Amino acid sequence: MSGALKEVRNRIKSVQSTQQITKAMKMVSAAKLRRAQDAITQMRPYAQKLQEMLSNIVSNSDGDVNMALAAQRPVENVMIIVVTSDRGLCGGYNSNLIKLAKQVINEKYPQQFAKGKVQVLPIGKKGYENFSKTGFKVVNQYWNIFNGLSFEKVQAAAKHAMDAFANKEIDAVELIYSEFKNAATQRFIAEQFLPVAKVNKVEGQKNADFIFEPGKDVLIAELMPKILNTQLFKATLDANASEHGARMTAMDKASDNANELLKTLKISYNRARQAAITTELTEIVSGAAALQG
């Protein structure tokens, strides 16, 4: 019985050590989440207004200005930008993003994929590792953006995609990321990054009347890349907050599971201990009875 008791004691110590780690990770993620949540909350209204303005400009230009980044053409070559995290232990966060990216490829671009004309630009180590190991064509310069996240790093990745599109090396760019709702909820999104999408006009709705100063050509050439940079930066801030929220929730559940397991193990330990004591008492009584006999 002593061997069984020792095994249960060791398991209890192991679970307690794991629980200390999960509680510490939850606290760290909670602290990081507050900062990440503040960043995306402040950024989101600005980015959404810029995106709305860009879509309106594209919709109302009617070919009267050269907009290389809004050019619609037959899709031969595709780029998928997938924003995952650098670290694991955040539940199904990364696997859901990777699954969504592969679903988009299978549903929208199966012919291009079969011809080897789909490439993935991963942001985040987990996405980079997965797509590299599973035989995808991978752009490997930008996966470590979250190691000191900044607008400049995201801008470099966005510029790579925009240059490839403008040079007709790529005909469509899809963006896969997780939109932050709250600590327990993320929404996994696939949206068109390039070409710039037009606004779907409601019947009877008037065109937005923009006054351009300086000229429309100059302004759009300057404005469009900046808005797209902001769009990708917003997606990375969303993903950053989503990652910490997912990890905090996962560590909270892990701590709760550890509590339940500890309860079960302690019951097992007490039962084994009681059985050992009963056996020892029985042996003592039997020994005493034998001596008296």
> What are the structural domains, with CATH classification, of the chain?
21-200+214-251 (3.40.1380.10)
Whether 220 has a pLDDT exceeding 80, the answer reads: no
Lowest mean pLDDT among 79-83, 126-130, 202-206: 202-206
Helix (H) or strand (E) holding 100: helix 93-108
Q: Which of 36, 50, 69, 90 is catalytic?
A: 90
Peptide bond into 45 cis (omega under 30): no
**pLDDT exceeds cutoff 80 at 273:** yes
Q: CA 241, 243, 246, 248 torsion: positive or negative?
A: negative
C-alpha span between 65 and 196 (Å, rounded):
14
Q: Read off the pLDDT of each residue in 164-193 and give the average, rounded to a whole number.
A: 95
28-56 average pLDDT score: 90
DSSP, collapsed to helix, strand or coil, labels residue 121 as: strand
User: CA angle, 119 as apex, 94 and 100 as ends, to 5°?
Assistant: 30
Q: Is 90 designated active site? A: yes
CA distance 12 to 35: 35
C-alpha span between 7 and 265 (Å, rounded): 10
Strand-pair partners of 80: 120, 174
Strands annotated E in the chain: 78-83, 118-123, 137-138, 172-182, 185-194
DSSP, collapsed to helix, strand or coil, labels residue 79 as: strand
Is residue 201 predicted with pLDDT exceeding 60? no
